[in-house]
Amino acid sequence: MSLIDDAAKVCRNAYAPYSDFRVGAAIRATSGAVYLGCNVENVAYPEGTCAEAGAIAAMVAGGDTKIAEVAVISEGSQPITPCGGCRQKLAQFAEPDVPVLLGTTGGARVSTTVGALLPGAFGAVHMKDA
Ligand code: THU
């Protein structure tokens, strides 16, 4: 199964009673392991979490910290694009050339990279004494 198929499958488990917008994310780590996440909303709206954040948390919990490939899929009419916070979260664990495939459950696809999604990313290099 391809990574985008994994993302489509986990998208079905999203908990999105408030937005009715389900998102699934699949991350392949450099180890080869695949980690999944979906958005999980909350009645206290700001407490909801994005699919990408869930997949990243699963990856770190699974013992991986290097991303090789990302796929994100949603039910919208055009391919989803990760929110700003998720771009920063992905950049924490991925080189700029890491491929990101974005899609809809209807079959639309757009290919990009972590670097293209977050040009000029704030990184460890900007920290004092880094
Ligand atoms: N969402 C994601 O899961 N990932 C994104 O990158 C954008 C937005 C979710 C959050 C919320 O549950 C729903 O989509 C609507 O914003």
Distance 23 CA to ligand 1 centre (A): 6
* Positions in the chain whose pLDDT score sits under 50: none
pLDDT value at residue 124: 87
Query: Given the structure tokens 């013992």, which residue do they identify?
Result: 63
> Could you tell me which of 29, 95, 31 has the C-alpha nearest to residue 68?
29
Q: What is the DSSP secondary-structure string of 54-90?
A: HHHHHHHHTT---EEEEEEEESSSS-----HHHHHHH
Per the CB < 8 A criterion, the answer to whether 82 and 71 are in contact is no
pTM confidence score? 0.96
Give the domains, in start order, of the chain with CATH numbers: 3-129 (3.40.140.10)
The tokens of 101 are what? 């495939």
Q: Which protein residues touch ligand 1 with a CB less than 6 Å away?
A: 16, 19, 21, 23, 39, 41, 48, 50-52, 82-83, 86
Cα angle 21-108-66, degrees, rounded to a multiple of 5: 75
Mutate to test the pocket of ligand 1, among 11, 12, 15, 21 (most ligand atoms within 8 A of CB): 21
pLDDT value at residue 29: 98
Annotation marks residue 52 as catalytic: yes
Residue closest via CA to ligand 1's atom 10 equals 50
pLDDT value at residue 128: 81
pLDDT value at residue 76: 86
Catalytic-role residue among 41, 47, 52, 95: 52
Number of neighbouring beta carbons within 10 Å of residue 58: 18
Q: How far is CA 94 from the centre of its chain?
A: 11
Query: Given the structure tokens 């700029």, which residue do they identify?
Result: 96
Tens digit of pLDDT for each residue in 57-85? Answer: 999 999 999 999 999 999 989 999 999 99
